[in-house]
Amino acid sequence: MRQRTIVPLSALLLLGSACGGRAGPVATSILPVAPADSGPTVTVDSLGAVVARQAGDSAADQAVLDSLHAPRGRHADSLTSRPAAAAQGVAAVRGEDVEREAVRLFGPEGRAVVGGEVAAPRFDIDVTSFAANRRVLEYLEFFQVDARDRFEIWLQRLGRYEGMIRERLRAKGLPEDLVYLTLIESGLSNTAVSRARAVGMWQFIAGTARLYGLTVDPWVDERRDPFRATDAAINYLADLRERLGSVYLAAAAYNAGVGRVERGIGRLPGEPDSVGDHTFFQLSDRRYLRRETRDYVPKLIAASLIAKQPGRYGFDDVSPAPPLVFDEITIPDATGLDVIARLADTTVATMLELNPQFVRGITPPARSVVVRVPRGRGTLAAMRFDSLPATDRITFVDHYVGRGQTLSDIARRYRVSVALLQSANPTLRPHALRVGQRIIVPMSGRVVPLSAWSVPPEHTYRRISRGGAAGGGARLAPANGAGGDGEPLATHRVQRGETASTIARRYGVGLTALLNYNGLTMGSMLRAGDILRIPPK
């Protein structure tokens, strides 16, 4: 019999460790649990129910984010629609009122008089010079009125991660108030997925994520890991600021790609050595940046103003979620997070919140990974896992619907009943299955072979880049031309008629490795002029 071992890591992780790796605090809503006893307790929440709730929450986030990132004209009416705001009992804040308050707040004396003297907040990004910018004022109104309910939730989430992100920004020598980028990128949602297939709190696309050392595969997507993704995002922002010499230009390049920003700077009159934060607004005023990027820094400034002083802008009832603390244990083979939840006497929702990088709710088969459990539960969970039979490690598999499949077909494949599938997937509509839809299949008491796992659908990335990776959020290779492991980055410019296969053969690398390294699939289209990164042999 092959013996499996597990190494508990039950030491308390310090808040905001900037040394990288997997250390760092997390924030979660851990429910009260019963004292440890002779056996694990039963988790009330089913995985399917928790996943359904997460999906609904993510959809609500995405609706606001789509509106936030839309061209300004598309929501201009809502910015001036006061009756709707009045109906919700929200005090409407007119642009001229906001502008007057911004002048008061950031006047020469550095103090504001609104019902008495109030000390002006301190920012380490240049908010004061641009607080009365027209687009900043528009987004202040948008966050206060149109997106009010959701923005309040985002401010609550900010409490989970703000300390950790500020610590790591400070360690890298970056302004700590760049933490507010997470508000406009994702609303601090680890499960956010943009239309450009950018994922996670920091909205990385797959190619750039891998370039900065994140794992992205069908089992683990570290773009969803707030701690690993934060390290990658901060390294990327540091590269951009070093290259462009400005925090706001770095933020613009994070959104649009450094090539686009540099080309815009090259079109400006005057000497290039005078580049600074004001340069962003020069590029914006001349429309040298696309619309979304022109609004990116104003969104950041508006979100920063509110997040730094929520009460001043009407967010009086925000209760920031507490930062999480956790233990880590090593899991050597495929195990469901619902099973680990029982071993740690916690909930499935808590485990998914602590470990969003495990996209299937299960740790990878035949691969040792670190899993977070609530603080103080590491040793207990590790001891229980060590005596857990292999047949009890998996309670479900996830199936991704193929073309033409019915629920009955899927039930027969896994030798379960249709009723069992329906009970495990509360929102399932049996007669409206979608290709690629995820269905949770209960498998308790059986050893699950690798062949039983359905392959998740891969998203096609239409382009690589012309100076940056396509998609949302982070878009460009590091300025120093190095890969995530520090080795020189080899690239290839696609010529007319070339395919991924011919390029892979030319450089002596595997086709799969080439595709994965660039965030591509077999269905991706290459065009002449695209830049491919060549993986190390």
Confidence of residue 1 (pLDDT cuts 50, 70, 90): very low
How open is the CA angle 412-417-418, to the nearest 5 degrees?
Answer: 90
Give mean pLDDT, residues 224-239: 96
pLDDT tens figures, 295-352: 999 999 999 999 999 999 999 989 999 998 999 999 999 999 999 999 999 999 999 9
pTM above 0.85, yes or no: no
Quote the CA–CA distance of 94 and 502 in Å, as a whole number. Answer: 59
Percent of residues, the chain, with pLDDT higher than 90:
42
Contact (CB, 8 A) for 252 and 293: yes
Mean pLDDT over 279-283 rounds to 93
Cα 389 to Cα 445: distance, rounded to the nearest angstrom: 9
Tell whether the torsion through CA atoms of 253, 255, 257 and 263 is positive or negative.
negative
pLDDT (0 to 100) of residue 3: 34
Percent of the chain with pLDDT over 70: 72
Asked whether the predicted pLDDT for residue 470 surpasses 50, the reply is: no
Mean pLDDT value across the chain: 77
What CATH number was assigned to the domain covering residues 396-443?
3.10.350.10
Q: Which residues, in sequence order, are bridge partners of residue 374?
A: 326
Query: Mean per-residue pLDDT for 95-101?
Result: 54
Residue that is written with structure tokens 């300004």 in the block: 72
- For residue 176, count other CB atoms closer than 10 A to its CB: 16
On the 0-12 / 13-18 / 19+ scale of CB atoms within 10 A, 271 is: exposed
Question: What is the distance between the alpha carbons of residues 299 and 137, in angstroms, rounded to a whole number?
Answer: 9
Q: Which residues have a Cβ under 8 Å from the Cβ of 536 and sit 6 or more positions away?
A: 483, 485, 487, 490
Instruction: Report residue 66's pLDDT band, with 50, 70 and 90 as the boundaries.
Output: confident
CA distance 341 to 362: 12
Of 38-47, 122-131, 431-440, 450-459, the one with minimum mean pLDDT is: 38-47
Q: What confidence category does residue 457 fall into, taking pLDDT thresholds of 50, 70 and 90?
A: low
Tell me if 204 sits within 8 A of 229, measured CB to CB. yes
Q: For residues 454 and 115, which has the higher predicted lDDT (pLDDT)? A: 454
pLDDT of 23 reads 34
Q: What's the pLDDT band for 236 if we cut at 50, 70, 90?
A: very high
Closest by alpha carbon to 305, among 95, 143, 78, 68? Answer: 143
In 3D space, the residue among 91, 182, 210, 94 whose CA is nearest the CA of residue 141 turns out to be 94
Q: What is the pLDDT of residue 338?
A: 92
Q: Which residue has the tokens 């003297």?
A: 117
Q: pLDDT at position 271, please?
A: 66
Lookup: tokens for 65: 């984010």
Q: What is the 3-state secondary structure (H, E, C) of 385-426?
A: HHCCCHHHCCCEEEEECCCCCCHHHHHHHHCCCHHHHHHHCC
Q: Are strands 117-119 and 111-113 parallel, antiparallel or unpaired?
A: antiparallel
Domain limits, the chain: 70-190+225-313, 396-443
Decide if pLDDT at 481 tops 50. Answer: no
pLDDT at 422 over 60: yes
Which residue, among 521, 514, 509, 517, has the nearest Cα to 483 in the 3D structure?
A: 517
Closest CA to 233 of 531, 520, 537, 20: 20
Instruction: Report whether 265 contacts 272 (CB < 8 A).
Output: yes
pLDDT at 61 > cutoff 90: no
Per-residue confidence band for 498, with pLDDT thresholds at 50, 70 and 90: confident
* CATH code of the domain made up of 70-190+225-313: 1.10.530
